[in-house]
Amino acid sequence: MTADLFADLFNEAPPDWREDLAPGAVVLRGFALPMVPALLAGVEAVTASAPFRHLVTPGGQTMSVAMSNTGALGWVSDRRGYRYDATDPQTGRPWPAMPAAFAQLALDAAHAAGFDGFTPQACLINRYAIGARLSLHQDKDELDYDHPIVSVSLGLPAVFLFGGFERSDRQARIPIAHGDVVVWGGPSRLRYHGVQPIKPGVHPLLGDVRINLTFRKVR
């Protein structure tokens, strides 16, 4: 039975935790809340082996966001460019294996948004202090744009900038809270996006930080 037929038969409203932003772009409000303890334990374990660090862009700017990775591949940036690498350049070791709870959440969230079989090789962990931001960019270092990107937000709230396909296109501002998951796929996969500077605040679990996990199928 299709979801639509089910909805018609039972006269159901669509679930209020699901917000469609554009074709292929879906916010799943609070989707990660049941997994928060496991996710935070995973972030602790991963960053004990692969510490958060501030990468330098090819243009020579140090990013305000601190990053680490888990999975077979990790996203790195330096003066030579952006790329995915199996080795953490800071430790010389492979990135820590992806915690089972991370992989399960990515698979479940992608499925809930209509993308089956999402098995990402990479999870970029972004840590934002107050005032940290991510300027407008496209995620295009992956070879396979048929798969979505799944983003999980923890801690302090943020405002996502959700743009179009040209840098100059106007951007919607999407408020994002602790536990929200966003799936960006299909025709929205290559939209420009960013994160506004994090406002001062204290989150009951994470204090003065925001953590974002982005899951990517790289190749």
Kindly list the residues in this chain that would bind ligand MD3 in the complex (CB under 6 A). 124, 126, 134, 139, 149, 151, 158, 160, 162, 184, 188-189, 191, 193, 195, 212, 214
Residue 47 interaction partner, one of Fe ion, ligand MD3, none, beta carbon < 5-8 Å per kind:
none
Angle separating helix axes 100-112 and 36-49, nearest 10 degrees:
130
Minimal distance, residue 97 CB to Fe ion, in Å: 23
C-beta of 151: minimal distance to ligand MD3 in Å?
4
Report the residue number whose CB is nearest to ligand MD3. 193
Compute the 3-state secondary structure of the chain and give helix, strand, coil in percent, each to the nearest 5: 20, 35, 45
Minimal CB distance residue for Fe ion = 139
Window 120 to 159, contacts with Fe ion (CB under 5 A): 139
Q: Between residues 139 and 142, which has the closer beta carbon with respect to Fe ion?
A: 139
Specify the DSSP class assigned to residue 56. Answer: B
Count of beta carbons in the 10 Å neighbourhood of residue 192: 18
Compute the least distance from the CB of residue 172 to Fe ion, in Å: 15
| Size of residue set near Fe ion by CB under 5 A | 1
Measured from the CB atom, the residue of 95 and 184 that comes closer to ligand MD3 is: 184
49/196 with CB nearer Fe ion: 196
What sign does the dihedral 157-140-26-69 (CA atoms) show? negative
Q: In degrees to the nearest 10, what's the CA dihedral of 151, 213, 215, 29? A: -30
Burial profile 61-91: b = 16 or more Cβ within 10 angstroms, e = fewer:
eebbbbbbbbbbbbbbbeeeeeebeeebeee
The number of beta carbons lying within 10 Å of the beta carbon of residue 163 is: 19
Q: How far is the CB of 197 from Fe ion (least distance, A)?
A: 16
What is d(CA 88, CA 59) in angstroms, rounded to the nearest whole number? 21
Residue with smaller CB distance to ligand MD3, 121 or 151: 151
**Residue 147 partner contact from ligand MD3, Fe ion, none using kind-dependent CB cut-offs of 5 to 8 Å:** none
Min separation Cβ 174 and ligand MD3, Å: 8
Q: Which residues bind Fe ion (CB under 5 A)?
A: 139
